[in-house]
Amino acid sequence: MDKNNLIIDLGACYCRAGLSKEIIDENKNYTFESCVAYLKSKYEKDEKIIKNLNGKKFFIGKNADYKKLEMSKGQFDFKWPLKIKDNNYLNYDSIENIFGHVFSEFNVDPCEQNVLLAEFQIDSQPDNEKATQIMFETFNVPNFYLANIGVLTVLSAERSTGIAITSGESATQIIPVFEGCRISWASKKLDYSGKDLTEYLIKEIVKLDYKFNGRLKNEEIKEIKDKHCYLATNENEKISPYFYQGVFIRNPLVNCPGILFPDIAKECFNSINKCDKSLHKELFNSICLSGGNTMFKGFPEKLKIELEKLESKEEINIIAPPEREYSILKGGAILSNNDTIWITREEYEENGSYCIKWKYF
């Protein structure tokens, strides 16, 4: 199946997408916030507002200046379809709108475009089935595959066996992989993720009497996280404080990613030891990272230090490419070259979304 397949990784904060050949050959992708800004219903009949918006009632991606929209006198509702609170269901209408936006950006006809979608981090069977249904019934794609993010992370490191640590906004998962298939009984989902780091920072910074700028709070926190937070790799290392908007930010705020440890290392160690002993050497030698939380300065080094404290006899090798925010896309591009993975439209019409149970590894 020599096609330029569309790869989509829809996360809680960002959606990343690309065409397989361009991802592999040029490391090219399109990344945008996975947010849909909807005009509130009470403004939909306001001709002046509709005219200013060129007739549009919702905005996504590069078509949306979210900062400007957020300041537009409360005229918009913002939906982040994968930011789950209190066990609410996913917002499928927004997910569908985001998928439609991706097809439009790449100027492809869904009816002629194979699509590989990375599983959502919540990884629930009903949501996997719904995503499959949307692709076949709404967009009428010819071939579709829903791929495990751990498998894609390992494949992106040009391995077929290894253990993936993927940590994003909504979840942190540890997934051992053997010959391209996840070892489900040894996989683990942790309590801590990016949203916990955000909540921790907000709580601690508020104690410093800093006043966030209303709706832009998350943007300010993101700036602090991305530019100033890192992991100290030495217990005696001096954390460098800094000023942010007149507030003196010091340890433990700078070192806030440290709340992910030592749990990540312990669970990685435990996960490997649940696997067959014959795999231990290869798994310890192929610990593959992906996701925004693994991008913190010092994360790979801290993980190795914590694993070595567990007295493993095997050599520990952390695979942390600089572009690991996009590792899932790269893995998807590699996997999409396998002609045998695809669920065809005919298979779906005959079996429904049930077919993902025997095509999904």
Domain boundaries, the chain: 1-33+85-148+333-361, 35-79, 153-192+261-325, 194-258
pTM comes to 0.90
What is the three-class DSSP state of 249?
strand
Lowest mean pLDDT segment, chosen from 2-6, 32-36, 273-277, 357-361: 357-361
In the predicted model, what is the mean pLDDT of residues 188-200? Answer: 86
To the question of domain 153-192+261-325 being in CATH 3.40.50.300, the answer is no
Is-contact 168 293, C-beta < 8 A?
Answer: yes
Q: Which CATH number fits domain 1-33+85-148+333-361: 3.40.640.10, 3.30.420.40, 3.40.190.10, 3.40.50.620?
A: 3.30.420.40
Tell how far CA 184 is from the center of its chain.
19
Closest CA to 213 of 249, 172, 244: 244
To the question of domain 194-258 being in CATH 2.60.40.10, the answer is no
Q: How do the residues of the chain divide into helix, strand and coil, expressed in percent and rounded to 5?
A: 45, 20, 35
Q: Name all contacts of 47-51 with Cβ < 8 Å and 24+ positions apart.
A: 49/75
Identical fold between 1-33+85-148+333-361 and 153-192+261-325: yes
pLDDT of amino acid 242: 66
Q: Please give the Cα distance from 249 to 266 (Å, whole number).
A: 29
Tell how far CA 320 is from the center of its chain.
16
- Phi then psi for 175, rounded to 5 degrees? -135, 105
Return all residues near 289 (Cβ < 8 A) that are at least 6 apart.
153, 164, 165, 166, 299, 300, 303, 318, 319, 320, 324, 327
361 pLDDT higher than 80:
no
Q: What is the pLDDT of residues 304-345, one digit of tens each?
A: 999 999 977 899 999 999 999 999 999 999 999 999 999 999
Lowest mean pLDDT segment, chosen from 101-105, 108-112, 258-262, 278-282: 258-262
- Relative to beta strand 6-10, strand 14-19 is antiparallel
What is the three-class DSSP state of 254?
coil
